[in-house]
Amino acid sequence: MPRLPVIAIVCALGALLLLGCGEEGAEEGATLTVYVSAPLRGTEAEGGRLLCDEAREQAAQGEGKDDFELRIVCLDASGPDGRWTLAKVGSNARRAAEDSTTVAYVGEPDPAARRQSRPIVDAAEIAELGGTNGREAIARVVAVLREDDSSDPRAAVFDALG
């Protein structure tokens, strides 16, 4: 029976540590991440690469003008046949959800694929922007971040765009 109290104490300490995470928000010069998920191989690759390229170009235009650095991470949502797959879409959304620097997720160009990723990123309170081009998505995120004076950029973007 002595193992039960030890387990309870370890769990309580873990919960306290988690409660303390993220309270200070983005520090000056912080790196914030936007994940872009799209097929990067096969017949849908041209559109996916365009989405990623536009997002990177838009993020680079604002470089050095803010208190943060915006990093764009493009993830391939295509499977062996070059089309998006549920497994890849889910994996990409989970990767974004597990990254504490994530402020937004630019979902797959295909609405059916976005329906798969949205519950995952919503549960992590990450805004999913879909049905838009890369430039527009990043411009919207940057606009919110420039206006935000809270200590939680992820929450600010989620509240404004989620």
Q: Is the confidence at residue 18, as pLDDT, over 50?
A: no
Q: Is the confidence at residue 10, as pLDDT, over 50?
A: no
Flag the least confident range among 15-24, 62-71, 106-115. Answer: 15-24
- For residues 28 and 152, the model is more confident at 152
| Domains of the chain listed by start with CATH number | 29-161 (3.40.50.2300)
Give long-range contacts, CB 8 A cutoff, 24+ apart: 110-119: 110/44, 110/84, 113/37, 113/77, 113/84, 113/89, 116/86, 116/89, 116/90, 117/37, 117/89, 117/90, 117/92, 117/93, 118/93
Q: Give me the pLDDT at residue 28, please.
A: 66
Q: Is the confidence at residue 120, as pLDDT, over 50?
A: yes
Give dist(CA 89, CA 151) in Å, integer.
30
Instruction: Give the pLDDT confidence of 44-95 residue by residue, as tens digits.
Output: 899 999 999 999 999 998 654 557 899 999 999 999 888 889 999 999 999 9
Q: Give me the pLDDT at residue 150, please.
A: 83
Residue 134 CB contacts under 8 Å (≥ 6 apart), including other chains = 36, 50, 51, 52, 53, 54, 55, 56, 57, 58, 106
Mean pLDDT of 34-49: 93
